[in-house]
Chains A and B, each alone.
Chain A
Amino acid sequence: MSFKVLVPGSLKEALELLSDRGKPIAGGTDLLVRIKRGIEDPDLLVDITKISELKIFRRDSGKLEIGASLTHAELLSMDIPPLLKRALSLIGSRQIRNLGTIGGNIVNASPAADSLPPLYVHDAEVRLVSLEGERVLPISDFIKGPGQTDLRKGELLLSILLRDFPDDYRFIYRKVGQRSSMTISIASIAVAYRLDGGLFEDIKIALGSVAPTVIRAYKAEEFLKGKPISEDILRKASLMIEEVVSPISDIRASEEYRRKVSGRLIFSVLEEV
């Protein structure tokens, strides 16, 4: 572990450093652990936490833009969508939430990242910048696999764009872990739905920790639309969820447990009614 650190005050300066040889660091809650374990050995870290563009927080023409270097604790004190608020409150510990950033949680691309299921439900987009220019991608295209993203050399995640759901939507976020706090999720679900006369008028379902990336359960969503909110219907939807997941066994849980639990999680909608 031996590296230099530069702390650019402007975005342009940061992008110049990153296009050359620097690796961005924000909270460092994952990166510094990887460096200490010898998994990564960068020679130049570019601290991106002093750049004002990465602290943007604004609602503009129906879209919320969230700067990538806002910490989980900072976002928890802001007016953010309820699903995201719930998920961020379950990340790590108080200490970790004070350091870790939403951009870091995304770029790490862990299938267990707590912020991702809500962002998938919101069909969030990521805004990426480099010296060459800017591009905006759906988050589901940006994240390619465990720890893998479409981030190009010299590119920086600037912000996350999403739309608030209308006021009559209801939300569920559930995280199954070995304990209730400071835990890596075994399976998680984020749901946004709207009921109309006891029927699902709209529903979006995202699942975490049960596939190489966070996934949407599109088949279950389509099936549920127009159907009543009942145990029988949810049982059918849960089987569709079990089919779409592709979990692994690891030290936290077995593949079979994750599959069963991810199906069961959809029943959480009954508790919210």
Chain B
Amino acid sequence: MRIRFRINGEERKVEVREDMTLLELIRDVLHLRGTKSGCEMGECGACTVLLNGKPVPSCITLAVKADGAEIMTIEGISNHPLIDAMVKEGAVQCGFCSPGMITNLVSFLDESANPSREEVREALSGNLCRCTGYQKIVDAVMAVKGGKKE
């Protein structure tokens, strides 16, 4: 199937296999390797991308759903204060979960300008980190909230 979409602001037309996932499209066809393949079951969040502004697990999203849509991957989010805050707070260790975390959290911060720690933790419930234990990741979100419109 031939699909058309915008990814990180760029218009693309691509021929895809219909049983291809959005994750395969992003990594294997478009060679954007920032988005990670983790559990492949929609549970770990490593493959999170924004589909029309909403975070989705790309490993259980069909590539054909990208037709006519706007996709944002970690490569399109290079200039967000959350990234600086995560570095400053030490919220990255092995880094494998970070692209999915950041992609999800960027959209969360757009929706909730002033979240509580509890709300941040709920928002992160679909992103697994096996290194840092979330504390520093939540700290980074709390450091950036309110300051993001500077």
A, B bound: yes
Chain A residues with a Cβ under 8 A of chain B: 1-5, 7, 25, 28-29, 32-33, 36, 45, 47, 49, 73, 92-96, 98-99, 179-182
Q: Is there an interface contact between B1 and A5, defined as CB atoms closer than 8 Å?
A: yes
Given A4-B18, A99-B56: 20 more A-B contacts, CB < 8 Å: A4-B19, A5-B19, A5-B62, A29-B42, A29-B60, A32-B61, A33-B60, A45-B18, A47-B64, A73-B54, A93-B45, A93-B125, A93-B127, A94-B104, A94-B123, A94-B125, A95-B56, A179-B125, A181-B125, A182-B125
CA distance A47 to B66 in the complex (A): 13
Interface residue? B41 (CB, 8 A): yes
Nearest B residue to A33, CB-CB: B41
Interface residue? B35 (CB, 8 A): no
The one of A3, A32, A36, A99 that contacts B18, using a Cβ cutoff of 8 Å: A3
Q: Is there an interface contact between B60 and A98, defined as CB atoms closer than 8 Å?
A: no
Chain B residues with a Cβ under 8 A of chain A: 1, 18-19, 21, 40-43, 45, 48, 51, 54-57, 60-62, 64-65, 67, 104, 108, 121-123, 125-127
**Residues in chain B near residue A94, CB distance under 8 A:** 55, 104, 108, 123, 125-126
**Residues in chain A near residue B60, CB distance under 8 A:** 28-29, 32-33, 36, 99
Q: Is there an interface contact between B62 and A95, defined as CB atoms closer than 8 Å?
A: no
CA distance A32 to B42 in the complex (A): 9
Q: Is there an interface contact between A47 and B65, defined as CB atoms closer than 8 Å?
A: yes
Nearest B residue to A49, CB-CB: B65
**Residues in chain B near residue A98, CB distance under 8 A:** 51, 54-56
CA distance A1 to B43 in the complex (A): 20
Q: Is there an interface contact between B19 and A96, defined as CB atoms closer than 8 Å?
A: no
B1, B19, B64, B127: residue with the most chain A Cβ atoms closer than 10 Å: B19
Known: A73-B54, A95-B42, A99-B56. Is A181-B122 also a contact (CB below 8 A)?
A: yes
**Residues in chain A near residue B104, CB distance under 8 A:** 94-95
CA distance A78 to B27 in the complex (A): 35
The majority secondary structure among interface residues of chain B is: mixed
CA distance A179 to B126 in the complex (A): 12
Nearest B residue to A71, CB-CB: B54
CA distance A95 to B126 in the complex (A): 7
B62, B108, B121, B127: residue with the most chain A Cβ atoms closer than 10 Å: B62
**Residues in chain B near residue A7, CB distance under 8 A:** 64, 67
Q: Is there an interface contact between A3 and B126, defined as CB atoms closer than 8 Å?
A: no
**Residues in chain A near residue B45, CB distance under 8 A:** 93, 95
Expressed in whole angstroms, the minimum distance between the Cβ of B49 and any Cβ of chain A is 10
17 A-B pairs within 8 Å (CB atoms) are namely A2-B19, A3-B18, A3-B19, A5-B18, A5-B19, A5-B62, A7-B67, A28-B62, A32-B42, A47-B64, A93-B125, A94-B125, A99-B60, A179-B125, A181-B122, A181-B125, A182-B126
CA distance A32 to B57 in the complex (A): 12
B1, B51, B56, B127: residue with the most chain A Cβ atoms closer than 10 Å: B56
**Residues in chain B near residue A3, CB distance under 8 A:** 18-19
Expressed in whole angstroms, the minimum distance between the Cβ of B110 and any Cβ of chain A is 12
Expressed in whole angstroms, the minimum distance between the Cβ of B24 and any Cβ of chain A is 11
**Residues in chain B near residue A180, CB distance under 8 A:** 122
CB-based closest 10 A-B pairs: A93-B126, A181-B125, A182-B125, A5-B18, A98-B54, A32-B60, A95-B126, A95-B57, A3-B19, A93-B125
CA distance A248 to B103 in the complex (A): 39
Expressed in whole angstroms, the minimum distance between the Cβ of A36 and any Cβ of chain B is 6
Nearest B residue to A36, CB-CB: B40
Known: A95-B126, A182-B126. Is A32-B62 also a contact (CB below 8 A)?
A: yes
A2, A3, A32, A49: residue with the most chain B Cβ atoms closer than 10 Å: A32
CA distance A8 to B20 in the complex (A): 19
B1, B57, B127: residue with the most chain A Cβ atoms closer than 10 Å: B57
Expressed in whole angstroms, the minimum distance between the Cβ of A52 and any Cβ of chain B is 15
The one of B43, B62, B108 that contacts A47, using a Cβ cutoff of 8 Å: B62
